[in-house]
Amino acid sequence: MGRRWRGGGRGSCCGRHPVEEEACEGAGGRMKFADLLRTAFLNLWRRKLRAFLTVLGMVIGTSSIVVMVSLGIGMREAMIESYSQMGSMTNITVTRWNYSVDENGNYSSSEKDLNKKTLETFKQIPGVEAVMPRITTWGLVKSGRYVADISIMGIDTSVAEQFGITLAEGTMPSARTTGGTYDIVFGSDLFQYSYFYDPNTGRQAVDKDGNSKVTLDSRFQLTFDYNNVYGGSSMEGYTPGKFYRLNATGVTAASGNEFSYYCLMDIEALKKLAKENSTFMNLDTSNYNEVILKCADTETVASVNQTIKDMGYGTQCLQEWIEQSEQSIKQTQYLLGAIGGVSLLVAAIGIMNTMMMSIYERTKEIGIIKVLGCRMSNIAGMFLTESAYIGFFGGALGLGVSYTLSIVLNKFLSDSGMHSSIPLYLAFGAVAFSILVALISGLYPAFRAMRLSPLAAIRNE
């Protein structure tokens, strides 16, 4: 039977398209999977231009949606990187003040003690690995004729390393105050950006090459009375503040987080200075400004954070900020994905149109292979496989175009802080989604081919 049809003349449809008939011969008309793949590919190959244009539509659709989504992913990665530079993802900052908003939009606040007793309570919370109290204040450091306004943070230096506080050089400050001299670790920004200046001229303390004239080896004095530098007070009974010698024990590592610009002192030493300078420092030494908790891992941060809030304290943690930011980023991703999805929808319509045109052109051929005994599922399978081929080639080529566009975009967006990122799950997902869209687009043409009457198809001109 196969040979009789194979020998048809030029006007015979089966003579021009014998592949389906050969594939359906034998095995009761059952078409093998390998035959199905071969038949579908050759059918597309015979109509190269139409197949190319249809695949091109899928390439544009796939690359559009991948690039759009990759920009959204890049935004999220940039946001996480930015937040991670501010501190550890496992840290929670606890404050004395807790602010809340009721259902009517009214703000309220409450204050609680944050002292040594509170620290012991925090240490008992499951998931908390370490606790570090801190107090902060301002001061003036003098070195020769140069001065610098500095932020001073008093910390428990025994747990500093657990909280990612590292030094570029030197050692952590101690609590000892021998002969009125206090240990201090300078923030790396203090020298890197030359915070020191001449108060009389306002000029920075830098040489002709831009290097700071004040170094770690310089001599330093600390005062909390700004009148000592910017002019004395004429108030009756005014007692000037003291100058304290500083022993610079080290410099913090340039990590880009808050410890880069803070100068560090032992918390007990700073408390002592605060008590002696209560006239110039509004610092409550009976309470800590903040307490930082280090959680075991990122999974326990949420539960510990909620426990602290239930105790009536205010909290700040990067994970919570990231979750809030991700809500807006997700909306942006959906919008970008929808914009790219329009191109993919147009490509899907193009696939359906191509398959319908193929049915009209191959109506007699379909009727013949039905008469030969080819199964309905094989007929539908041929058209669905052709659609899948279009989806696969369009998705794969579109992915290649996406990577190229991503590289180009990253060069132009490098200064804006944005970038395009295509992770593996997006790459494989894009190809799989392209195939799925193509298969869905080919469903109606496939069922249309199955429902054709064999006799009517053969008589069709």
Q: Tell me, what's the pLDDT at 38?
A: 80
- Candidate from 66-70, 74-78, 150-154, 172-176 with smallest mean pLDDT: 74-78
Q: Tell me, what's the pLDDT at 30?
A: 59
Query: Rounded distance, CA 214 to CA 21, Å?
Result: 90
**% of the chain at pLDDT higher than 70:** 86
> Under a CB-based contact definition with an 8 Å cutoff, are residues 94 and 308 in contact?
yes
Q: Tell me whether residue 63 is exposed, middle or buried, using C-beta atoms within 10 angstroms of its C-beta: 0 to 12, 13 to 18, 19 or more.
A: buried
Query: Rounded distance, CA 385 to CA 59, Å?
Result: 18
**Across 84-112, average pLDDT:** 78
Q: Where do we find the tokens 């609590």?
A: 175
pLDDT higher for 286 or 327? Answer: 286
**Across 253-257, average pLDDT:** 69
Going by C-alpha positions, the residue among 438, 341, 431 that lies closest to residue 44 is: 438
Query: Rounded distance, CA 381 to CA 234, Å?
Result: 97
**Across 247-258, average pLDDT:** 80
Q: Tell me, what's the pLDDT at 264?
A: 94
The H or E element spanning position 103 is none
Query: Rounded distance, CA 158 to CA 176, Å?
Result: 14
Largest CA distance in the chain: 123
Residues sharing a CB contact under 8 Å with residue 239, sequence separation 6 or more, in sequence order: 279
Q: Tell me, what's the pLDDT at 9?
A: 39
Q: Tell me, what's the pLDDT at 10?
A: 39
> Under a CB-based contact definition with an 8 Å cutoff, are residues 451 and 366 in contact?
no
- Give pLDDT tens digits for 298-340: 889 989 999 999 998 999 888 888 877 878 888 887 887 888 7
